[in-house]
């Protein structure tokens, strides 16, 4: 029997962005809305969720990710703004956005998608929107949604610091009652100049 691992490809964020995110989460968590906030040490920018991958296929996945990023140059990514998907009025996912470096991160995502497609990983149909998920909203009364929307609107100009993107990481994810745990399975350096 082959064992599978829940897997995703991501960029780890800097301690500076983590610190700013922690402060923003503290402010937003004063809302009466029921939100499961992400622990700051678990924050990362997901480039591609792969789902359950057989362990025997993991070397090919790591090789494909390494090949995808080998010719891309490192870049800076600036965290800025906060919002929610699908909308502020009906939030399900609370996020921190990015401004500087977004074209580079979109290109990184595209390169990874292209290299993983031949291995059977389907390309996303939706446009990639780089973000850090900081919370997931549960069902709430309308006034709680309104309060959270107001707090997020006030954080629209949030400045969250920068991350030097010089590698991507293939992670395993184990879901537990107390929250997920992530383990790096492979590192791929951006090697372009």
- What the chain holds in terms of domains, given with CATH numbers, is 4-189 (3.90.1140.10)
CA distance 131 to 44: 9
Confidence of residue 125 (pLDDT cuts 50, 70, 90): confident
**pLDDT in the model for residue 141:** 81
Average pLDDT over residues 7-29: 96
**pLDDT in the model for residue 2:** 57
Asked whether the predicted pLDDT for residue 130 surpasses 70, the reply is yes
- Annotated active-site residue 44? The verdict is yes
CA-closest candidate to residue 52, choices 122, 116, 5? 5
Q: To 10 degrees, what angle do helices 58-69 and 102-116 make?
A: 140
Q: What is the pLDDT of residues 63-99, one digit of tens each?
A: 999 999 999 999 999 999 999 999 888 889 999 999 9
Q: What is the mean pLDDT of the chain?
A: 92
Strand 44-54's sheet: what is its strand order? 44-54, 4-12, 167-174, 181-189
Place of tokens 């800025």: 80
CA distance 57 to 60: 6
SS3 content of the chain, % helix, strand, coil (to 5): 35, 40, 30
Peptide bond into 14 cis (omega under 30): no
Tokens of 99: 């401004």
Asked whether the predicted pLDDT for residue 62 surpasses 80, the reply is yes
**pLDDT in the model for residue 1:** 53
Higher per-residue pLDDT: 173 or 168: 168
Confidence of residue 191 (pLDDT cuts 50, 70, 90): confident
CB 19 within 8 A of CB 132: no
Q: What is the pLDDT of residues 28-48, one digit of tens each?
A: 999 999 999 999 999 999 999
**pLDDT in the model for residue 193:** 44
CA-closest candidate to residue 171, choices 155, 186, 150, 156? 186
**pLDDT in the model for residue 144:** 87
20, 109, 131, 187: the catalytic one is 131
CB 165 within 8 A of CB 105: yes
Q: Per the confidence metrics, is the pTM higher than 0.85? A: yes
20, 44, 109, 187: the catalytic one is 44
């Amino acid at each position: 029997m082959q064992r599978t691992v829940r897997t995703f490809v991501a960029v780890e964020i800097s301690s500076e962005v983590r610190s700013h995110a922690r402060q923003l989460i503290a402010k937003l968590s004063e809302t009466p809305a029921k939100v499961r906030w992400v622990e700051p040490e678990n924050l990362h920018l997901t480039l591609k969720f792969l789902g359950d991958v057989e362990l025997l296929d993991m070397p090919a996945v790591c090789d494909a990710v390494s090949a995808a990023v080998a010719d891309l140059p490192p870049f800076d990514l600036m965290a800025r703004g906060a919002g929610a998907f699908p909308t502020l009025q009906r939030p399900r996912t609370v996020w921190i956005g990015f401004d500087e470096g977004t074209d580079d991160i979109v290109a990184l995502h595209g390169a990874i998608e292209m290299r993983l497609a031949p291995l059977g990983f389907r390309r996303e149909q939706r446009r990639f929107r780089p973000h850090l998920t900081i919370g997931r909203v549960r069902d709430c009364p309308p006034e709680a949604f309104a309060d959270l929307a107001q707090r997020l609107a006030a954080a629209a100009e949030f400045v969250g610091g920068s991350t030097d993107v010089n590698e991507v990481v293939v992670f395993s994810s184990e879901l537990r009652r107390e929250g997920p745990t992530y383990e790096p399975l492979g590192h791929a350096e951006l090697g372009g100049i």
